[in-house]
Structure 1
Amino acid sequence: MGRQSTQTGQEQSAAVPCAHLIPALEAIGTCAYVVDEQGRIIAANSSVEDLLDRPADELVGQDAHDLLHRECKGQQPPPTQCSMRQAFRAGKPAQGGDEYFERADGSLLPISWTVTPYRIGGTRSGTLVVFYLRGHAPALGPRPHRAAGTLTDFERLALLAETTTQLTSTLDAEEVLRRLVGLVLPRLADWAVIDLITERDEVRRAAVVQADGDALVPHEKLEGPMPPIPEESPMPLARALRGVASALAGPETYRGAPDSGITAEQHRLFETTGIRSAAIVPIRSPRDVLGALTLGRASHPGAFTVDDLPLVEDIARRAAVALDNAHLYQRQRKVAETMQNHLLPQMPHVPGLQMTVRYLPAPDASQVGGDWYDAFTLPDGATALAVGDVAGHDLEAAAGMAQLRNMLRAYAWSQLQSPSRVVARLDEAIMPITDVTMATLVLARVTQNGDGHWQLSWTNAGHPPPLLITRDGLAHYLTDGHGLLLGTGARIPRADATVMLPPGCTLLLYTDGLIEKPGHTLDDGLTRLRQHAAALAHRPLPSFTDQLLHRVQPPGLDDVALLALRTPSSHRTRPAR
């Protein structure tokens, strides 16, 4: 596989390497690279490296025209006369057969090439370039007759590469279907129909989409539950859903009496859509048959032939892998969410205090992580509050978080000492009896005095400082009581800090996922959080937390745990015991 290097400085701003494209480029089987909108190379496969004798780190970030294109005598052609560069700029497919690329040693290679627009990811677009030595075209199987509306060999390669990249770059099943439809329409057909087999072995017509010019129009009335898969039916869709075979079909296929409910639905589909030629293939993963893909042509030129089936099957196989991955991820996510719900506690009821919590998992992990919150009543009537962060956002971090939280509860309950003494005891125990290597936390005690005032005492072990917001919108961070994070092995005394909580104030404990954002400093994040919290001081507490998360917009690179507490708007003396 080709090597990649990360560019720095000006080069990085011009062309960001995209290593995730490499598997798709390797699957093409001949020289292929991708350029960005400016024509700079962002990924290349190993065939390019071998043929040009240039490692990927010499290619990535370079202008492809300036680096490679030469005329027959070795001169560089003017950019304005380069048809490949013009295709980059126009974002249109193009081909050429009388070009030269320069190898690292200065020798020239006569090449033929094709380019096609290529979505890099998200909103970024680029161009896929596939090339080979003239007279050494890659063998793609016999295609003696090219019907109207079919693709050239290079267009087929480009489509398969784009299919692999787009479908495997998401773990959302609905997004996989949406991208699949966008890939095949209108390039291969003007209708796309996707039938999926559910976990209960039922069939659901998940998508019926028509290409109307450049627009993709869903036909929801044709979607929905389907009859069961017939075990013996020889009809094309039934065979595809059983994973038996691919087939071609037309209106004549369904003119006879239907042998099953699925055949009747196919008759309705052809009659309603006007499809005159269709290719029907299984969507089959290595583990199971997931459904079937039907591509139909009504006004699209040409009819499907048996030569088209391998391409549609290849696309369906790539879709099956993506769907299988999405389904596995969803199942893992449900298990992880259940685990997280059991790990994070319910808030206690404390007369006079309001509390609300929120947890946002890192979306790229398994929906669990090392960020946590806790609140519980102590034997002396005080309320303990804690927010912490165990390094990582995976199952291992979640397990470490559970260990740490349970030990903290036990020490806080049994010792009834100051927060600093409890955290010091916890720090001593981390290395010998837990799997946690590094963690931060804030532990606090909230008590009500005899005159009804609420008091907060806390210690901070390397964690972002609590934020206190008055009901008038004055907000400041509680920076006292700060000490080392947990797990360093240092035995430095920890400090406590104490503050009286004003009536109607809001105390916010949170983890760093709320304030860390790429390209911004922690001070930027703290300032942004303080400003938004102050502006929301008058909101009811549940609305305060929801709106704060909405306005701060955590980037989602890490978990976020948030605990908000609000004191009564007026002092009330606690009844004597």
Structure 2
Amino acid sequence: MTDGAAIADGAGNDGVLPDDALLRAVFTDLGAGLYLTDRAGVVTAVNAQAVTLLGRPAAGLLGADAHDLLHRDAGGGTIPRPGCELLAVLEHGHAARGESAMFLDGSGRLLPVAWSASPIRQEGQIRGTAVLFIDATQRLAAARRQADQLTALEALTGRLTAITEITTVLTQTLDVDEALARLGRLIVPRLADWAAVDLYTGPQDVRRITVAPPSDHRSDLVWQGPLPPVTEASRAPLARVLRGGEALLLGPDELAAPADAPLAAAHGELFAAFGAASAIVAPLRTARQVLGALTVARADPARPFDAADLTLIADIGRRAGLAVDNARLFGQQRDVARTMQRHLLAPLPQVNHLRMSARYQPAPEGSQVGGDWYDAFLLPDGVTALVIGDVAGHDLKAAADMAQLRNMTRSLMWDRREPPSLVVDRLDKAMSAITDIPMATMILARVEGPEGGPWQLHWTSAGHPPPLLITEDGHARYLEASQNLLMGARLQEEPRHDAVEPLPARSTLLLYTDGLIEAPGADLEAGMNRLRRHAAALARHPVDEVCDQIVERMPTGGTDDIALLALRLPGPGEGA
């Protein structure tokens, strides 16, 4: 280099290079490693920082082929010359840079470097390269830490997502077997290669409820069913968990341990059939008791469960335990409610000249019991009384309110022979005075007439949907007279009124609650028209079939209870 040598895009305002002494000072004291090569890639110059970073004396670098001496892949192997990015600078004459190359230092260790290489040109010809590099160990370590944190965050997000989905699935049904089958399908293969759930069905009785097999095995009911009892002496993982122990992480040694009890042998059959290099057995637990155990396994030795997996599966076990407990409590409540409903909805009376049938269908999301009811009974004067009513709600409170109102209605009807409207007036006043029932609707009716007919319906309505009368020839119409305010409104200043309607021979009378005619997204008139069409089509069917068909044909998805009471009048000579 000489003073005044021109450069294409120089580093001075006058476009000339500094003197040789200054250039040598920059080369020598540069804070990064720098080496120069000739056109063949042989090192022709090296600065002090490069000597330090590479742990090689200058004499060992000068005259050496830079690629053969220094350039390595991530595993320490020599990079093929056609694939070396640094050599490509000599070949194509374009500057290049990299953030994670490996140079082999003098001790034989790999030095991570970030580098920049530029071609050296003279008179338009490539004469060599200048390679500038720094130690990237800390940068790569930071990148690895960041990648590890990102991986951990992704794993945590995956676990939280799994927990959310599993919780949702477990709360979507109150059927224990179905909930646990869905749980198995979520766990496999997302978290494990296979899974099984065992539940207590008695103080010592255990049953395998579900098995989610590996993807290459078909689901087989042979694995489900009763299991041997839990024994106090057994130290096997399943027995320990079912006796109240914490979740257990099992490695190859624990999985290979010989069975010490029949229950352990039955558990081992699953591991033998499906394979397992790692497994977790976690309790299905509530605050009061252990309800069962969840077993999950992985067959790949390279992907064993760890402590984080143990925590996750233990949490899933707790959530599954709560879901099982809730389902069982609901089942107990449902059984109580059904028993209560059977007692509240008394059997229909046997009246020679009348045919009656009734149906009750609880609200889909209720407690299998509610505030809708029907009733029919004989009065002292031989008249048959009919009642259909609806107390707000479809839970046990509504059922209790309904029971009060039903008993009061029976008592008042039995006490005096008077029009239905007067009975409902007295019932409304009594309801407000001695119960906490807020409001209710009702139709109270008397079916009057001698055994051979003719008959008439004498009734009053307290805010209830009108009766539907269907004649034998299929003509159906609503009896919309006698509409009064519902009970509990406390706005009735004048006495309620009654209506009387002839009941033709072989006609059918339907009393129902609004759950039968209300459907999501449809107006009430559409529901009433639908009921009228269906009832007309069933005019000559037996009365039991009329009830079944109407309940079946009306749209599903409603949120209210349904009560239905049907009365069929006899034809001439059919009274006895």
TM-score, length-normalised on structure 1? Answer: 0.70
Kindly tell me: are residues 538 and 151 of structure 1, through their superposed partners in 2, closer, same or farther at Cα, counting changes over 3 Å?
farther
Q: Do the aligned partners of residues 271 and 161 (structure 1) sit closer, same or farther apart at CA in structure 2, a change above 3 Å counting?
A: same
CA deviation profile, 1:378-419 (whole Å, cap 9, x unmatched): 111110000001112222222221111111111111111121
1:438 Cα deviation from its structure 2 partner = 0.6
Change (3 A) 1:291 1:424: same
**Is residue 423 of structure 2 the alignment partner of residue 422 of structure 1?**
yes
Q: CA deviation at 1:256?
A: 5.6
Quick check: 1:251–1:267 contact (8 Å CA) kept in 2? Answer: no
**Does the aligned pair in 2 maintain the 1:373–1:388 contact within 8 Å?**
yes
2:187 corresponds to which residue?
184
Tell me the distance in 1 between the aligned counterparts of 2:574 and 2:294: 70
- Give CA-to-partner distance per residue, 1:236-282, whole Å, 9 cap, x none: 11111112122234676465653211111012222223344322111
Q: What's the secondary structure of 1:152's corresponding residue?
A: helix
Q: In the TM superposition, what is the alpha-carbon distance from 1:542 to its structure 2 partner?
A: 1.9
Aligned in 2, Cα 1:254/1:301: closer, same or farther, shift over 3 Å? closer
Cα separation, partners in 2 of 1:514 and 1:201, compared to 1, 3 Å = farther
Pick one of 166, 169, 175 that aligns with 2:169: 166
**What SS does structure 2 have at the residue aligned with 1:212?**
coil
1:518 equivalent to 2:520? Answer: yes
Distance 1:196-1:412 versus aligned 2 partners, 3 A rule:
same
Query: 1:189 deviation in Å?
Result: 1.6
Equivalence for 2:234: 233
Q: State the shift of 1:465 in Å.
A: 0.6
The Cα of 1:488 is off from its aligned counterpart by 1.9
Partner amino acid, structure 1, of 2:546 = F
- Match for 1:499 among 498, 501, 507? 501
Amino acid paired to 2:283: P
1:553 aligns with 555
In structure 2, what residue type is equivalent to 1:292? A
Shift of 1:315: 1.2
Counterpart-to-counterpart distance in 1, 2:229 and 2:574: 69
Checking the alignment, whether the CA contact within 8 Å between 1:443 and 1:458 is kept in structure 2 is yes
Asked whether the 8 Å contact 1:465–1:477 carries over to 2, the reply is: yes
Correspondence for 1:477:
478
Tell me, in whole angstroms, the C-alpha distance in 2 between the residues paired with 1:175 and 1:327: 13
Report the identity percentage. Answer: 51
In the other structure, the counterpart of 1:203 is: 206
User: Aligned in 2, Cα 1:252/1:448: closer, same or farther, shift over 3 Å?
Assistant: farther
Instruction: Out of 498-507 and 438-447, give the one that drifted further.
Output: 498-507
1:158 offset after TM fit, Å?
1.3
Residue 297 of structure 2 is matched in structure 1 by: 296
The answer on 1:436 being equivalent to 2:437 is: yes
Q: 1:444-478 CA distances to partner (integer Å, 9 max, x unpaired)?
A: 11133365323221111100011112232221111
Q: Deviations over 1:200-231 (max 9, x none)?
A: 44111000122427xx9532111001111111
Shift of 1:324: 1.5
Distance in 1 of aligned mates of 2:352 and 2:198: 55
Give the whole-Å Cα distance in 1 for the aligned partners of 2:188 and 2:328: 24
Which structure 2 residues correspond to residues 159-558 of structure 1 after superposition, within 5 A?
159-212=162-215, 217-249=218-250, 253=254, 257-298=258-299, 302-449=303-450, 451-489=452-490, 490-558=492-560
Check conservation: 2:469, 2:476, Cα contact below 8 A: yes
Give unpaired runs (5+ residues) of structure 1. 1-141
Question: Equivalents in 2 of 1:491, 1:397: separation in Å?
Answer: 27
Aligned to 1:38: none
Give the direction of change, closer, same or farther, for the CA distance of 1:501–1:298 in structure 2 (3 Å limit). farther
Closer, same or farther in 2 for the Cα pair 1:558/1:143, shift >3 Å?
Answer: farther
Q: Alignment RMSD, CA only?
A: 2.7
| C-alpha separation in 1, matches of 2:542 and 2:252 | 62
Correspondence for 2:129 = none
Task: Summarize the Cα distance change of 1:574–1:329 in structure 2 as closer, same or farther, 3 Å threshold.
Answer: closer
Greater CA radius of gyration, 1 or 2?
Answer: 2
Structure 1 pair 165/257, CA: closer, same or farther in 2 (3 Å)? closer
